[in-house]
């Protein structure tokens, strides 16, 4: 069997589940991740290429990623990635 890279596989660019009021739906995270794992995904990327990451504050991102991380205990081997890029609207000081 070939020696594959530890991150080899299929990763879904996961959308952040939201409630009708726009807040994060943390209760839906396990459902979403089980859905992806059951369909052959080896992992998921949050706040990545979906383009929604900059819409959330650092505190909101932390809450979601802590929720996502707790899922790993339920599905061993399912990998989780997090986008870290964000635009800055701060003006440079003169």
pLDDT tens per residue across span 34-73? 999 999 999 999 988 667 777 888 888 899 999 888 887 7
How far does Cα 67 stand from its chain's mean position?
Answer: 10
Judge whether 76 lies within some domain.
yes
Domain that holds residue 28: 11-82
Q: Into how many domains does the chain fold?
A: 1
| Residue 60 CB contacts under 8 Å (≥ 6 apart), including other chains | 24
CA distances to 5, 8, 44, 71 from 2, in Å: 10, 11, 23, 29
pLDDT higher at 40 or 87: 40
Judge whether 26 lies within some domain.
yes
Helix, strand and coil content of the chain, in percent to the nearest 5, comes to 30, 15, 55
Judge whether 6 lies within some domain.
no
Tell whether pTM > 0.75.
yes
Judge whether 92 lies within some domain.
no
| Amino acid 7: pLDDT | 83
């Amino acid at each position: 069997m070939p020696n594959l890279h530890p991150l080899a596989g299929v990763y879904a660019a996961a959308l952040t589940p939201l409630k009708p009021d726009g807040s994060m739906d943390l209760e839906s995270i396990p459902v979403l991740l089980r859905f992806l794992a059951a369909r052959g995904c080896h992992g998921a990327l949050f706040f990545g290429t979906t383009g929604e990451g900059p819409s959330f504050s650092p505190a909101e991102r932390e809450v979601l990623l802590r929720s996502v991380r707790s899922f790993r205990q339920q599905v061993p081997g399912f990998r989780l990635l997090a986008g870290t890029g964000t635009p800055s609207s701060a003006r440079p000081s003169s």
